[in-house]
Amino acid sequence: MMGAAISRWTMSYFAAALAFLIAAEGLMVAGYGFPAAPVEAPETLVLVHVVTIGWLSLLICGALFQFVPVLVARPLSAPALVLPAFTLLLTGLGCLLGGFLRLAGALDVDLPLLACAGILLPAGFALVIRVMAGMLWVGQPLTLPARFVAVGLASLVVVALLGASLAFILSGLMPFDPMVELKARILPIHAAAGFGGWLGFTAIGVSYRLLPMFMLSPESERVTGYCVWWSGSAALLLIILFLPISLFSPDGADLVITAACLLAYLTLGLYAADLVFFYRHRKRRKIELNSKAAFGMLYLAALMAAVLVLNGTLEEHAGALIYLIVFGWLTGLGLSQLYKIVPFLTWLECYGPVMGRQPTPRVQDMVVEKRDMPWFAVYFLGVLACTTALLANHPTLFRVLALMPLMATIAIVVELIGVRRLSNIAADRRLPAGAIRPRLFMPRVL
């Protein structure tokens, strides 16, 4: 990526995403939504979508605008659509949260907020897909990470369409009994395609590019990587096919879900083999706790899911499992990679123009790992403690323990702000002649 163009709005996406993450963690500390409220309560829906759209989706979109051009060796397609997509996503999410608050009785406005969200959010994601699909189309044949991104974007289409359907159903604008009866079937597919396809599969694909780059491991595409892509894609396809199959053959639907789960575990096993390969063949000997812990959370969640299924308690403890997946793996991975990405992009933005002409600091000089790593330890220990509290059905204890991830996240965000401010660079080396001082999260030229 050295010398790659900086996506103008990536930092804006990152900043908004981190703000939503802190808001979500604050809501959990305040006892808003699950586990203080039922899973299906409007308050929980507010919390879920602050995390999935506000935090994780904006994070992934911002990252893809920067990395997909690198994956396909093409410039960003239709860059003028990036800001409108950002605006539509923020506006649509605001309408969605407002609609849920209205359902909860906390907001008294006579506006079809959920219906507006059902239009604005798919429109925003459509612009994101348009930008990405344009690059992927001209970048064929696709590299392995780009193939993961393509499947993730296809899953996003399904998620957006099903989400829009649910929004219109909840808004009362689609009062047809058949659609109401389908809601119970739509919701699981919406969640599975979102977590497993759009968020999970895309995160795995990006990791196939970032891990070798940051570990200094071989970037050659291995057979196991393609097997991960094939088995994971097949699992997602089966999950999406569950809805039409379940309408006509309940027994067939059970077989489809069983096959999808087996393929998912095969995918995780093959992915583990690639992670071990990257680790063993790395040239950078020291790997930070945060990177190892994030992937450890993924496989702990997989083990936990298997145990819950065997014990017949999956439905009872589904909330704890989802919390571990979302905050242990996806959020842990997101924060860990931001701790690498933000300094790297900041270095390119600030010192790239004078590289080779002026002495510049190293990327590693932009952070202080000895100071920051304990906060990652606090974060992951907090997630494990919160998961244990959820399994033990102690919502009050969960609220107290949720302070740990919240405090750790705030500390990490403060460090990222310091990176953008070049705070860790000595004053006499901070801005050599010709270097560009980065703005915090907005482009320099609007």
Residue 281 pLDDT level (bands cut at 50, 70, 90): confident
Q: Which CB contacts under 8 angstroms, 24+ apart, belong to 415-419?
A: 415/339, 415/367, 415/368, 415/371, 415/372, 415/375, 416/18, 416/338, 416/339, 416/342, 419/342, 419/343, 419/346, 419/366, 419/367
- Least confidently predicted of 35-49, 264-278, 349-363: 349-363
Residue 243 pLDDT level (bands cut at 50, 70, 90): low
Give the chain's end-to-end CA distance (angstroms, integer). Answer: 24
CA distance 90 to 78: 20
Q: Is the pLDDT of residue 82 over 50?
A: yes
Cβ–Cβ under 8 Å, residues 174 and 182:
no
Encoded amino acid at 106, one letter: A
Cβ–Cβ under 8 Å, residues 252 and 245:
yes
Cβ–Cβ under 8 Å, residues 106 and 130:
no
What mean pLDDT is predicted for residues 216-220?
74
Residues constituting the chain: 446
Cβ–Cβ under 8 Å, residues 360 and 432:
yes
Residue 446 pLDDT level (bands cut at 50, 70, 90): very low
Task: Quote the tokens at residue 240.
Answer: 């999406």
The pLDDT, as a whole number, for residue 437 is 83
CA distance 125 to 156: 8
More confident residue, 340 or 24: 24
The pLDDT, as a whole number, for residue 83 is 94
The pLDDT, as a whole number, for residue 384 is 97
Residue 166 pLDDT level (bands cut at 50, 70, 90): confident
CA distance 185 to 183: 5
What mean pLDDT is predicted for residues 246-267?
81
CA distance 442 to 423: 18
Helix, strand or coil, per DSSP, at residue 358: strand
- pTM for the whole thing? 0.93
Q: What angle do CA 332, 336, 341 make, to 5 degrees?
A: 140
Q: What's the number of CA atoms in the CB half-sphere (13 Å) around residue 321? A: 17
The percentage of residues in the chain with a pLDDT greater than 90, rounded to a whole number, is 54
Residue 419 pLDDT level (bands cut at 50, 70, 90): very high
Q: What are the helix (H) ranges across 144-222?
A: 144-171, 177-192, 202-215
Residue 50 pLDDT level (bands cut at 50, 70, 90): very high
Task: Quote the tokens at residue 281.
Answer: 């063949």
Helix, strand or coil, per DSSP, at residue 355: strand
The pLDDT, as a whole number, for residue 126 is 96
Residue 3 pLDDT level (bands cut at 50, 70, 90): very low
The pLDDT, as a whole number, for residue 155 is 94
DSSP E strand stretches across 170-324: none
Q: Is 260 exposed, middle or buried (0-12, 13-18, 19+ CB in 10 A)?
A: buried
CA distance 57 to 81: 17
Helix, strand or coil, per DSSP, at residue 3: coil
Q: Where are the domains of the chain?
A: 303-446
Q: Is the pLDDT of residue 369 over 90?
A: no
Cβ–Cβ under 8 Å, residues 210 and 340:
yes
> 């995390």: which residue's tokens?
51
The pLDDT, as a whole number, for residue 2 is 46
Q: Is the pLDDT of residue 246 over 90?
A: no
What mean pLDDT is predicted for residues 361-375?
88
Residue 288 pLDDT level (bands cut at 50, 70, 90): low
Cβ–Cβ under 8 Å, residues 192 and 239:
yes
Query: Which letter, b or e, does each residue of 75-109 get, where b requires 16 or more Cβ atoms within 10 Å of its Cβ?
Result: ebbeeebbeebbebbbbbbebbbbbbbbbbeeeee
Question: Closest Cα to residue 333, out of 375, 376, 367, 302?
Answer: 376
The pLDDT, as a whole number, for residue 1 is 47
The pLDDT, as a whole number, for residue 174 is 62
Q: What would the pLDDT profile of 379-408 be if each residue is shown by its tens digit?
A: 999 999 999 999 999 999 999 999 999 999
